[in-house]
Amino acid sequence: MCIDHNALFASIFYVTINGQVMKRIGICTVSSLKISWNSSVIYIIVHKRGSLHKGTMPDLWQDAMDHAVTLARKAGEIVKDALQNDLKIMCKSSSVDLVTKTDQNVEQLIITSVKEKFPEHSFIGEESVAAGEPCVLTENPTWIVDPVDGTTNFVHGYPFVAISIGFAVNKMLEFGVVYSCIEDKMYTARKEKGAFCNGQPLQVSDQKEINQSIIATEFGSNRDPDAVDKIFSSMRKILCLPVHGIRGVGSAAINMCLVASGCVEAYYEIGIHCWDVAAAAVIVSEAGGVLMDVEGGPMDLMSRRVLAANNNIIGERIVKEIEAFSAVRDDAPVILIK
């Protein structure tokens, strides 16, 4: 059975067929639609002919973003409460790749709430992937979450910890929420709608001179000697350009938000994950910044490499000094060894 009526208009914002999200459809006559009832059609609004006026269509993803802000605040309270108690610390890939029960509890809070409110959405979370869930970005609306970005900071009481919630549709980032909970700074951005911190607009620095710039980076958790040598070598070359200084707060999301705020001109790192940067990438872009790979070209969210800069001049200058090294992609197939 199909929808078919010449007297009506329909606004269809996205349609999933057999679990796949199809291209967004705007306004059309219902007679032009042929959607079988065994398809899953989300957000259909049917109007009488002539009754649809400009500006009446609902904002499809604003409800999701509002929910993300609410969840980030709730998660921030859990993190701040946990800092007052003894932490149960565990290790993942190495003795310096830390996770706590708080990371797991916060992610479970977010997953449960998202599944209840948006059951058709997908989810990529740091702790879920660590537990064996696939890290695959599809065209489906997808929440990309780091429940505690800056876990090492959190463990040591170093006051830069963030809840990072990114959201992608059709593999394109739509909004980002980063809550630096100790500072009580809520960074938010939506595609083509600007970036904000606690409601105030963000704008990247207008600096174009590398020798007047501050650059942020991190050592990460990779302790392979060759990788560490390249990290130090890159930092040395950048420092001697010269730049005003090299900084890092221990959180990829906060470092990127500092670029968006105009406090630093660029941030780069190899070895981060998609959940570290997804939310902040939207914030940087909407604040007027640029995102690229550490060897130039566009940023690939799954590549585990990022360079966020206030403009292409600074970004491309930094690229020339970085000694890149390999990192296994987030979406690489998992090889099981028997």
What residues are designated binding site for Mg(2+)?
Answer: 126, 146, 149, 276
Report the candidate in 66, 61, 50 with the shortest Cα–Cα distance to residue 21: 61
Indicate the annotated binding residues. 126, 146, 149, 276
| Ramachandran region, residue 198 (left: φ > 0; alpha: ψ -120 to 50; beta: rest) | left
Report the half-sphere exposure of 278 (CA within 13 A, side-chain side): 29
Report the half-sphere exposure of 207 (CA within 13 A, side-chain side): 24
- Measured N-to-C along each axis, helices 62-82 and 101-117 cross at an angle, to the nearest 10 degrees, of 160
Please give the radius of gyration of the chain, using alpha carbons only, rounded to the nearest integer.
Answer: 22
Handedness of CA 125, 199, 120, 110 (dihedral sign): positive
Beta strands across the sheet bearing 305-309: 245-247, 214-217, 266-270, 305-309, 290-292
Could you tell me if 103 and 276 are in contact, meaning their C-beta atoms sit under 8 angstroms apart? no
Please, which residues have CB within 8 angstroms of residue 335's CB and are 6 or more apart in sequence? none
What is the DSSP secondary structure assignment for residue 336, as one 8-state letter?
P
